[in-house]
Structure 1
């Protein structure tokens, strides 16, 4: 399974209109494409940052959708009042575990890291054996994924929980997991974000 993430910034005053367009127009258009398995959208209202993720049943399907998705992404940028320059990345899903569906009002923590490309398999094993069992213990845990870019040595882990309170209560535990993970891999933590879930229909199968 493969995914594409599109990271867009815009005008906070236009966030709700942008999210409406994504939900009502872009989501149906993307998920109707050959090979698309689903889509999810996370956002930070304070800075109008939106991360949209689409899942694909094969790498070929993901790449074949590039031009069509680009046009849809540009329409979302305009609706959000963005100035262009959105960041787009392609990933392989290495680990996915779901406890139950992500409800309205859920939040997610995204952790972006980079390491030596030769250590990606080690990172996957470490996440599966060490991080995953601890993440599952977070209050309100819904699910988690680990996505990798093997060529670039990039990693992004996402953990979804049921509420803002749950994301706040898990901060210390998440920081400890992150420190151990980065230390054992000699990895760089490129960023940590806590975002609200607009909707989560990514439909990535269980991969543990």
Structure 2
């Protein structure tokens, strides 16, 4: 499984118009493409950061969608008032305890490890991080996407609400410290986002 994420730092006044365009136009349009398996939209209204992630059943399908995706992305960026950053990933791990509901909140963490430590980091997320997350009240789902060549990765952990995420902040900090220690990871960035759209049909991978 593979994914493409597009990040735009939007004007706060344009976020709602961008959400409408992605829901009404981008999502239905991509659904028609071969190999498409889902879309999510994360929004941090405090900073204006909007992250659209589309999932594909193969690397070939993801690459074949580029022209269509570029057109949608350019228009979305015009609406949002920002320049997009695009990354393509392998979906290395995915676990869903239950489906998200309105009000769900996501902790997103970008990190990097040495190339030779990528597999160890993936195994650690699957075998240690996910079981630990399952013990947290309000945990909904988790995913890890990686670029094995560069060692870059992004982990997303979804909770039922912003309050559930706040309740588990200390536990999340402890898990992050363990990841840094065990995988030799360098944390590059982190943010908390509202899960605005979640139409993912990605199968369990953890």
TM-score by shorter chain over 0.5: yes
Q: Distance in 2 between matches of 1:123 and 1:186?
A: 8
Aligned equivalent of 2:174: 176
Is 2:135 the partner of 1:137? yes
Contact 1:112 1:189 in 2 (8 A): yes
How far is the alpha carbon of 1:138 from its aligned partner? 2.0
The structural deviation recorded for 1:15 is 0.7
Q: What's 2:102 paired with? A: 104
Aligned to 1:12: 12
Map of 1:68 onto structure 2: 68
Question: For 2:195, what is the secondary structure of its paired residue?
Answer: strand
If the length of structure 2 is used for normalisation, what is the TM-score? 0.97
Q: Give the structure 1 partner of residue 199 of structure 2.
A: 201
Partners of 1:30 and 1:196 lie apart in 2 by 22
Deviations 1:67-111 (A, max 9, x none): 2101100111111122x2x11111111111111111111000111
Aligned residues: 206
Trace 1:48-67 onto structure 2 (pairs within 5 A): 48-67=48-67
For residues 137 and 7 of structure 2, what CA distance do their matches in structure 1 show? 27
Distance 2:114 2:24 in 1: 40
Structure 2 SS opposite 1:53: strand
| TM-score w.r.t. length of structure 1 | 0.96
Q: Distance in 2 between matches of 1:185 and 1:144?
A: 18
The answer for the alignment partner of 1:160 in structure 2 is 158
Matches within 5 A, 1:9-48: 9-48=9-48
- The residue matched to 2:116 in structure 1 has which SS? helix
Moved over 6 A (4+): none
RMSD over aligned CA atoms reads 0.9
**SS at structure 1 position matched to 2:17:** helix
The Cα of 1:171 is off from its aligned counterpart by 1.2
**Take 1:12 and 1:151, find their aligned partners in 2: how far apart are those partners?**
35
